[in-house]
Amino acid sequence: MLSKIGVFDSGLGGLVITSALIKALPQYDYLYLGDTAHLPYGDKTSGRILKYTLDSLNYLISQDCKLIIIACNTATSICLRYIQQKYIPAHAPDVKVLGVVIPTVEVALSDNCCRIGVIATQATTNSHIYQTELKKINPNISVTEIATPRLVPMIEHNCFDDMEETLRSYLAQFPKLDSLILGCTHYPLIKEYCRRLLPQTKIISQDELMGAKLADYLHRHPEIETKLSRNGQRNFCVTRKNIDSERVAQQLYPQINVAEISILQK
């Protein structure tokens, strides 16, 4: 039986990544799940993040997604290794789960840069996943990770008035950088602020790389690609609807119809 591509995020930020995937690969069927009932993940414990991520993953698996992209950097940082190595082999061996950190690291290292900065949630920076993965490939680079917890609530609530000032104070904490990784699904929405504030620094935004990375992955994995259905269908759901989420969804994906679903809470 043919299956959809599932995309999961803790909220609606992942819609930016989904829309980039759809733009690059419009032929496939997509099911998006934003766990808005539990947003933000970034300030939660690893145990909570894992529980919410597994609940969402199980929902996508139950909806017949055989390829699932965890678009959330926080969930990728905390859960992906466990999911890929333990959970999926035991519970859904025919499902592939991919994250966003490794594709981002590969793009960051494709330039000859020496000083890389990362902005992300507290949970992501605490995990040091970017530093670990970047240095695994190039131990000589310097990596500075800074948690920027005020940004996600501002973006989800559509509060952009103080964005430039808030970002300016976060970015001032970095030494001189060659590249800055926007290590959170919401940050593509503020990439132009970053480009204005750091004109000499390459800004690495996941919406600009995930489409090509997924296309490349499917090209290298025909055994997965041939199992995907191709009706150009898109379905979007969240675990809790609210006025902000509807407005953000409309902005990110005009004409979007978002359904509220309940997922099994074990």
Query: What residue ranges bind ligand DGL (CB under 6 A)?
Result: 9-11, 13, 39-42, 72-74, 121, 124, 152, 184-186
Which residue, 11 or 211, has its beta carbon nearer to ligand DGL? 11
Q: How far is the CB of 217 from ligand DGL (least distance, A)?
A: 19
Which residue, 3 or 211, has its beta carbon nearer to ligand DGL? 211
Assign 3-class secondary structure to 59-84: HHHHCCEEEEEECCHHHHHHHHHHHH
Residue 72 annotated in active site:
yes
Q: Are 52 and 41 a contacting pair, CB within 8 Å? A: yes
Kindly tell me the sign of the dihedral angle through the C-alpha atoms of 183, 187, 192, 194. Answer: negative
Of 46, 32, 57, 24, nearest in space to 266 by CA:
57
Which residue, 3 or 166, has its beta carbon nearer to ligand DGL? 166
The catalytic residue among 65, 113, 184, 237 is: 184
Residue 114 annotated in active site:
no
Question: CB burial class (10 A; 0-12, 13-18, 19+) of residue 172?
Answer: exposed
Q: How far is the CB of 124 from ligand DGL (least distance, A)?
A: 5
The catalytic residue among 65, 72, 113, 237 is: 72
Which residue, 228 or 236, has its beta carbon nearer to ligand DGL? 236
The number of beta carbons lying within 10 Å of the beta carbon of residue 212 is: 14
Q: How far is the CB of 89 from ligand DGL (least distance, A)?
A: 25
The CA-based angle 75-76-78, given to 5 degrees, is 65
Q: How far is the CB of 227 from ligand DGL (least distance, A)?
A: 27
Give the residue numbers marked as catalytic: 72, 184
